[in-house]
Structure 1
Amino acid sequence: MTDVDDIRIAFDEGSLTTLRIVLGLILLGVALDTRVSDFARAVRRPWAILVVVVAQFLLLPGITFLLTLALDLRGSLALGLILVACCPPGNVSNILTHRAGGDVALSVSMTAVGNVLAIVLMPLNMAFWGSLHPTGSALLQEISLSPASMLGEVLVVIGIPFVVGIAVAHRFPGIAAKARRVVGPVAVLGLGAIIVVGVANNWAIFTAHIGLVVVAVLVHDALALLLGYAIGRAARLPSASVKACTFEVGIRNAGLGLLLVFSFFDGLGGMALVAAWWGIWDMVAGLLVATLWRRRSRGAPSSPATTGATGAMGSAGPAGADG
């Protein structure tokens, strides 16, 4: 069997452009459901936001790095996990928080802050942790990864749609409310179609090597969700806020990871497999955790945070996803 580090998965420029558009729509959906007041709310709750920021951009990449060493992963698989860990959340985390009975208002604030910070911190994190990995660093040197170039890509895919969406939501809230009902589902279906077509076109590679990533992704995803839960509890946040922390740290925008794999890593096999499988499993695991939480809290009196969060979701529903 071919070494997974030697595999390059083809993805033409037209498909990359489509993926950029889909991811831009996903971030637009996040922004359409974000208000300037969400950032003001974040300022009023700095401790909770700081806890999640530290977990997302410092602890999770560091834990991921140690996991790749413990599992003795090949370079491309290790870089794939590190890349996913460096990705920001999408608003699937908001939807799962709502389903679990958590503090959605806080979740939305965390998502907004996390995506803004990720524009700069994601490329820096990837370059730092990837360069430390004993086998992944050699691949990075071959590829000559430029954090500045990745910053530009992330700025286009996250920054521009985010600014446009927030501006529309602030200036034309009625239009934003209607648009987010369409933008999110269309973007999610588009991302799903891209992944399905990509897997179908590379089916032989997928079936030959997916076994290498299943266990690594399962353990990694579980650690990400557990980290979010543990740091929320350690910070002594309310139960509803702990649920928000769990999904903000545990849910990653693997679609963005896929785009970066094909844009900067020449479709490196292990990285592409990790990002694709993460996007599938992360949703399954997140829904499972949220459903179990919902069942446990069924019949329990609602906390003010949870009640307010439910109202905050209103009729907006799923505005987007991170796959």
Structure 2
Amino acid sequence: MGSWPVTVLLPVVLALIMFGLGLSLRVADFTRVARYPRAVLVALGCQLVLLPGIAFWLVAALGLAPAAAVGVLLLMAAPGGATANLLSHLFRGDVALNVTLTAINSLLAALTLPLVTNLALTYFAPAGHERLGLQSGKLLQVFALVLVPVLAGMLTAAVWPALSGRLDRPVRVLAVGFLTVATVAALIVERRNIGGYLAEVGVLMPALCALALGIGYLVPRAAGLAPPQALACAMEIGIHNSALAMTIAVRVFGDIAMAVPAGVYSVVSVPLALLAGWLCTAGRRRAARGAEPRFRAQLIARNRPAR
């Protein structure tokens, strides 16, 4: 795929997103793992092993076209990002845990993305595609796409903290603007083929997103994590960096069909995450409403004059 929306704009979008992520990260975000060892291990186990394994089984069972199947696995291996942190904050999750998971996943992705994608390419064998190869030039491209902008953002924040604070919002706005333009332009360029792409993954991606959010909440709860930590894990596991998956699909492999699962996921994931956040906090809201009358009664009794 050599059209300008994907070869020019998507890398710019990804660089801005990853640079903005780096601006928000500090060294403490990596060392904070000592405070959440069980939460981090459970979340990483779900995100790096359980979810890709389930996705692999689903796409194989459904008989997806090879390129689309690889695209699904590529997306499932992509880390979370700033959107997960925002959604966690909205529903009073443990945002510090979110930031720690995002920081660790952003570094691990340089290794896990090629590993999962290699396995998918080997099994599904889409025509015209070779494996990334752990020593190949394509691995270096993935490494550069994932880590270089993040490290640049972290360096900027460390050396010029005041500047990084001023850059945060403009970088986010530019990233959203470029992503919108790139998506619309790519849809126009691929308008003859997009219907077939969507028909193949249009149902699977919402189902996978709902499954990821459910796994992200229920498995940590079963492991004994508190609801705010489980909610943080759910957002981190359920929200993936779709721009990263799309950029690798079209920049490294030159295949728009591989990018479609990530594009569909980016559209459905936020509404589903909002619904999941509302459902996960329903119990806390009911408990708060039930406690309010009791609190008022106790307050009145405490302030009632003695006879």
Per the TM superposition, whether the score is higher than 0.5 is: yes
SS at 2:202 equivalent: helix
1:143 maps to what in 2?
Answer: 129
Counting only pairs closer than 5 Å after superposition, residues 21-170 of structure 1 correspond to structure 2 as 21-132=12-123, 136-137=124-125, 139=126, 142-147=128-133, 148-170=136-158
Structure 1 stretches lacking a partner, 5+ long: 1-9, 302-323
Counting only pairs closer than 5 Å after superposition, residues 12-27 of structure 1 correspond to structure 2 as 12=3, 15-27=6-18
Counting only pairs closer than 5 Å after superposition, residues 295-310 of structure 1 correspond to structure 2 as 297-298=284-285
Cα deviation, residue 266, structure 1: 2.7
Amino acid at match of 1:58: V
Matched, 1:213 2:201: yes
Matched, 1:275 2:262: yes
Indicate if the aligned counterparts of 1:255 and 1:275 stay in contact, CA closer than 8 A. yes
Tell me: CA distance 1:201–1:81, structure 2 relative to 1, closer, same or farther (3 Å). Answer: same
Tell me: CA distance 1:279–1:152, structure 2 relative to 1, closer, same or farther (3 Å). Answer: same
Indicate if the aligned counterparts of 1:101 and 1:293 stay in contact, CA closer than 8 A. no
| Alpha-carbon distance in structure 2 between the residues aligned to 1:167 and 1:268 | 33
Indicate if the aligned counterparts of 1:88 and 1:252 stay in contact, CA closer than 8 A. yes
The Cα offsets for residues 219-266 of structure 1, whole Å up to 9 and x where unpaired, read as 111111122112211221111000010011111111111111112333
**Larger CA deviation: 237-246 vs 35-44:** 35-44
| Alpha-carbon distance in structure 1 between the residues aligned to 2:57 and 2:143 | 29
The Cα offsets for residues 20-39 of structure 1, whole Å up to 9 and x where unpaired, read as 12101101111111111111
SS at 2:240 equivalent: coil
Cα deviation, residue 213, structure 1: 1.2
Larger radius of gyration: 2
Cα deviation, residue 300, structure 1: 5.9
| Alpha-carbon distance in structure 2 between the residues aligned to 1:16 and 1:76 | 18
Indicate if the aligned counterparts of 1:92 and 1:251 stay in contact, CA closer than 8 A. yes
Indicate if the aligned counterparts of 1:143 and 1:264 stay in contact, CA closer than 8 A. no
| Alpha-carbon distance in structure 2 between the residues aligned to 1:182 and 1:80 | 30
Tell me: CA distance 1:208–1:62, structure 2 relative to 1, closer, same or farther (3 Å). Answer: closer
2:217 maps to what in 1?
Answer: 229
| Alpha-carbon distance in structure 2 between the residues aligned to 1:46 and 1:145 | 34
| Alpha-carbon distance in structure 1 between the residues aligned to 2:183 and 2:2 | 11
| Alignment partner of 1:178 out of 166, 188, 199 | 166
The Cα offsets for residues 62-92 of structure 1, whole Å up to 9 and x where unpaired, read as 1110111222222222112111111111211
Indicate if the aligned counterparts of 2:117 and 2:132 stay in contact, CA closer than 8 A. no
| Alpha-carbon distance in structure 2 between the residues aligned to 1:229 and 1:241 | 9
Indicate if the aligned counterparts of 1:39 and 1:113 stay in contact, CA closer than 8 A. yes
| Alpha-carbon distance in structure 2 between the residues aligned to 1:68 and 1:297 | 36
Indicate if the aligned counterparts of 1:261 and 1:268 stay in contact, CA closer than 8 A. yes
Cα deviation, residue 199, structure 1: 0.7
Give the TM-score normalised by structure 2: 0.86
| Alpha-carbon distance in structure 1 between the residues aligned to 2:114 and 2:149 | 18
Amino acid at match of 2:207: V
| Alpha-carbon distance in structure 2 between the residues aligned to 1:86 and 1:288 | 23
| Two-structure CA RMSD over aligned residues (Å) | 2.0
Tell me: CA distance 1:212–1:50, structure 2 relative to 1, closer, same or farther (3 Å). Answer: same
Tell me: CA distance 1:99–1:255, structure 2 relative to 1, closer, same or farther (3 Å). Answer: same
| Alpha-carbon distance in structure 1 between the residues aligned to 2:278 and 2:131 | 40
| Alpha-carbon distance in structure 2 between the residues aligned to 1:127 and 1:78 | 12
Give the TM-score normalised by structure 1: 0.82
Amino acid at match of 1:53: L
Indicate if the aligned counterparts of 1:145 and 1:264 stay in contact, CA closer than 8 A. no
